[in-house]
Structure 1
Amino acid sequence: MTHNRRVPHLLLARPTIVQRVVLALLGAFFLVWLALLAYIYIEFRQALAVDQGLKKLGRALTAALAEVRDDAEAGVVMTATATQFQTLRISGNPAGSVLMELRDRQGGLIHASPALGRQVLDGRQGEVIDQQIDGQTYWVYRRDTGRWSLQLAEPRITGMWILERNAGRVLPYLLLAFPLILLPVWLAVKLGLRPLQRLADRIAERGTADLSPIGMDPKYAELKPLIAALERMLAQLRGTMERERAFVHDAAHELRTPMAVIAAQAHALSGAGSSEERERAQVHLEQAIERASHLTQQLLELASLDDAHQRLPKSVDVAQWARQILAQAAPRALARGIELTLDAPDSLEAQIDVPAFQSILENLLNNAIRYVHDGAQVVVTLRSDDERLTLSVEDDGPGIAESDHERVFERFHRGVGHDTPGSGLGLAIVKQAVSRMGGCVAVSQGLARRGVGFHVSLVLGGAG
């Protein structure tokens, strides 16, 4: 029961596009509300600076009094104006209504608002000034004509009052508009997501091993990049699966031969009738085991390089590392009179994927030693600049036919014209390791236009 109660909460907590749209609209309406308040405030300040409402009222009243010659008639005009102003609440100022005072040019009082009591307005001709009346700040405006002196006063309006008053007036309109805008947006989002739902349903209906093209032509332009990306991904997965199936098939085929030899030689060893037969069978058995072990090791190395996980580059002395690899290969080279030479600086620091670089050099070196004739030369060259590290392994052996240069890096491919045993994986490992490090490898003629040369160019610092 506890689990079931949590489900609605989890569903509500799960983010959706509709939720994001609603929140975005709320944020947009909030920004519009702030922008309107800012506009009203700026408009209010500009109105104060250009032509204040108190001045407009003063001009209108003095224009009405211009034709009045009698004090009693002027008092009637002022009383009627004050009553009308109070009724219509033209000022809209809740702090108080407009106070009016009219005197003749000799200073005699014609009319004064009852709220003034004994207070006397002390304005300045043609200007709006501040005056304290009963502890409250008023704007006071004075305008003199030929016969009359008119003074008007209203409570001073602050910017904060403008914001507080209009915030409540604008908000209901925005709240009324919100659902009217939200509904069509929600419908647009819901209808716009239907193609995505159809795409999801089509993918969900496919089998786990179905990597065939989706075959969907989206109506909306925004979905075309998504469909294209999915089609590319499926094509890459199909290629990967095909390569893996071919790799497993070839690996099984290559392992079958040494395993058959091992079984045959083990049978021959157990049934040998003499010591010579046992020794011969044991030698063949050890050779078959060595070949199977070498092939297994290369398969594991190739699988490791196929792994998508990238190793972090390390700073090492590549020249010193190369010397160690050549020293390990030296006994096999000396046994056949092969001359190994390293042409490299005394020290060469570089940021590289060390295991991948080791695979490259070891396999190129083993490949050269395996296929050159006795007494041949193998030269390893190391160079670098600020961006790239170059490695070359060249020999003066039988070489590789130019027509076969591209195929030598294929897995389990072994060239013709020689009877040297091998797995056909060494150069494939080189190609994969070079690709992992963001580099490239090329094949050319070897030393003195004989043999073969492999030239590797690697990006310093890791895969590019």
Structure 2
Amino acid sequence: MTQALSPPSMLGGLRERVTEPTLQRRGVASVLVAFLVIWAVLLGYLYVQAQRIETSAPGLNRFSEDFSESLAPISDIGQVQAVMAATSQWLNARRQAEGRFPGVRLFELLDNQGRRVWASPALRDTVLPDAPRTLVAVEVGGVAHNVYEARSKRWTLRVVEPLRTDAAFLAYNGRSLLPYLVLALPIVLGAVWLSVRNGLTPLQQVARTIAQRAPDDLTPLAVHVRHRELKPLVKAIDHLLARLKQKVDRERFFVQDAAHEIRTPMAVITAQAHVLARATDAQVREEGLQHLNHAVVRASHLAQQLLLLASLDEGQRPVLQRSDVAQALRQWLAPMAHAAMVRGIELELEAPDALMAPVDLPGLGSIVGNLVDNAIRYGRTNGRVVVHLLDEGERLTLLVRDDGPGIPAAEQARVFERFWRGNNHIDVAGSGLGLSIVQQAARGMGGTAALIGGLDDRGVGFLVSVPNADFRAA
């Protein structure tokens, strides 16, 4: 059944389409801005050129010289007055029709005795200064003018030109440039619109390919693109899909391993619960209760490790707290001293009296707890475990070493794998997640975790190095 859109829905969709940013609109807007900039630059260029020309006024000088030469053959005063009147009227009529220059051009004609023969009406009450072949500024009717004087055998001609204001110049030339820009604008806009539209076609094809994929399809796009600009995008998408596939596969294996690991303590709990329910002998009940408690402790520890590892896998940026790392290390080691004493292990700490630094305390605490716990669990009875904290300026370094049986060289490459416990420690309770948690926590703080040698050429050691935020800030 097809449902018709209501008018509000149609209006909302139309409004969204109109207001939604698009690359085509962005290209059109960029062209409009470019045209405005071009218009302003051309106008500025014309203004600078006009200012340079206005200081010498070559056009005015040439006009004055030519006009003066054309009057030289006329000797009759009445005739020259008629020529001046007719020429002044004709020139100013053309000037007003063009609209390029403001006001009217004024003239004054003197004979060779310096007597005024003819003058524009606006100059009848104005005495002009002498300006032999130079520009002289003068005010006529409160308006600034330039005066240029040209002389012939019979006459002295003075041409008085009103100066254009900056506003008048910009207004006229701005209007004169607009028709050319408006004529070119549709052509350029059309070309930009077509180029953007054609340029987006390959990108839309890639988008359709992604949209048609199944939700669980994380294989590479396998899209052949001819355009150089799109190749990095497709390559980045394929790289992202590969990373997502690795993460999904890692999570799938993690869930499978977690289910396998937790199945054993759950089976023990179930079996011992049946034993306790049916046993009548006190000794059998006591042994069943011990086995049950052991299985519950193992399941609880495994659950805590799984939750901690899951929280580290979320990839959230740790919150740094400025703390005394040395003091915090002592507090973390104190509860472990009893477990070390039970096995006769000497737990030693080598650290500064105080070491103030901004660190991720929960993350660092999990690193210390897992490394020292492993060293106590898997180290030799009556052995040694040494914890060493170093301030190396750029980095903080933590070393945990023991003198126990160590890890065979063939197995060292797998020590940070999840649920891996080695062949020599099957009889020791553990989840196989401790070193994975150490590595993940170190990465979360921007650091590294590495396997190193133990104490006295035996045992095993781990080195964790994390950045010192104080040093980077300095």
- Structure 2: stretches of 5+ with no match in the other structure: 1-6
1:10-30: CA deviations, max 9, x gaps? 221111111211211111111
Structure 2 partner of 1:48: 54
1:340 to 347, 353, 377: 347
Q: Distance in 2 between matches of 1:92 and 1:18?
A: 40
* Residue correspondences, number: 463
Pairing 1:363-402 to 2, within 5 Å after superposition: 363-402=370-409
1:445 to 411, 431, 453: 453
1:454 to 442, 458, 462: 462
Structure 1 partner of 2:24: 18
Judge conservation of contact 1:372–1:398 (CA < 8 Å) in 2: yes
- Structure 1: stretches of 5+ with no match in the other structure: none
1:145 to 147, 152, 169: 152
User: Letter of the aligned partner of 2:112 in structure 1?
Assistant: R
Question: What SS class does the counterpart of residue 258 from structure 2 fall into?
Answer: helix
Structure 1 partner of 2:356: 349
How far is the alpha carbon of 1:276 from its aligned partner?
Answer: 0.7
2:420 to 401, 413, 419: 413
Judge conservation of contact 2:95–2:101 (CA < 8 Å) in 1: no
1:345-381: CA deviations, max 9, x gaps? 1111121111110111100011011011221111100
Pairing 1:124-203 to 2, within 5 Å after superposition: 124-203=131-210
Judge conservation of contact 1:93–1:155 (CA < 8 Å) in 2: no
How far is the alpha carbon of 1:427 from its aligned partner?
Answer: 0.9
User: Letter of the aligned partner of 1:30 in structure 2?
Assistant: L
1:61 to 40, 52, 67: 67
Cα–Cα, structure 1 residues 3 and 279, in superposed 2: closer, same or farther, change >3 Å?
same
Question: What SS class does the counterpart of residue 464 from structure 2 fall into?
Answer: strand
1:228-266: CA deviations, max 9, x gaps? 111111000000000000000101011111111111111
User: Letter of the aligned partner of 2:469 in structure 1?
Assistant: G
Question: What SS class does the counterpart of residue 263 from structure 1 fall into?
Answer: helix
How far is the alpha carbon of 1:421 from its aligned partner?
Answer: 2.8
Q: Distance in 1 between matches of 2:143 and 2:56?
A: 25
Structure 2 partner of 1:237: 244
1:301-334: CA deviations, max 9, x gaps? 1111111211211111111111111110011111
Structure 2 partner of 1:8: 14
Structure 1 partner of 2:268: 261
User: Letter of the aligned partner of 1:103 in structure 2?
Assistant: L
2:443 to 420, 425, 435: 435
Q: Distance in 2 between matches of 1:354 and 1:84?
A: 94
User: Letter of the aligned partner of 2:444 in structure 1?
Assistant: R
Scaled by the length of structure 2, the TM-score of the pair is 0.92
Q: Distance in 2 between matches of 1:11 and 1:64?
A: 70
Q: Distance in 2 between matches of 1:154 and 1:444?
A: 94
Judge conservation of contact 2:101–2:164 (CA < 8 Å) in 1: no
Question: What SS class does the counterpart of residue 54 from structure 2 fall into?
Answer: helix
Judge conservation of contact 1:345–1:382 (CA < 8 Å) in 2: yes
Cα–Cα, structure 1 residues 124 and 347, in superposed 2: closer, same or farther, change >3 Å?
same
Pairing 1:30-45 to 2, within 5 Å after superposition: 30-45=36-51
Q: Distance in 1 between matches of 2:361 and 2:424?
A: 34
1:109-151: CA deviations, max 9, x gaps? 4443455456554442222223333444432222233432111
User: Letter of the aligned partner of 2:148 in structure 1?
Assistant: Y
Scaled by the length of structure 1, the TM-score of the pair is 0.94
Cα–Cα, structure 1 residues 38 and 376, in superposed 2: closer, same or farther, change >3 Å?
same
Q: Distance in 1 between matches of 2:146 and 2:17?
A: 59
Between the aligned residues of both structures, percent identity stands at 44
Pairing 1:292-311 to 2, within 5 Å after superposition: 292-311=299-318
Structure 2 partner of 1:314: 321
Structure 1 residues 169-178 or 104-113, which shifts more? 104-113
How far is the alpha carbon of 1:403 from its aligned partner?
Answer: 2.2
1:362-420: CA deviations, max 9, x gaps? 00011011011221111100011221011111111111112222211100111113432
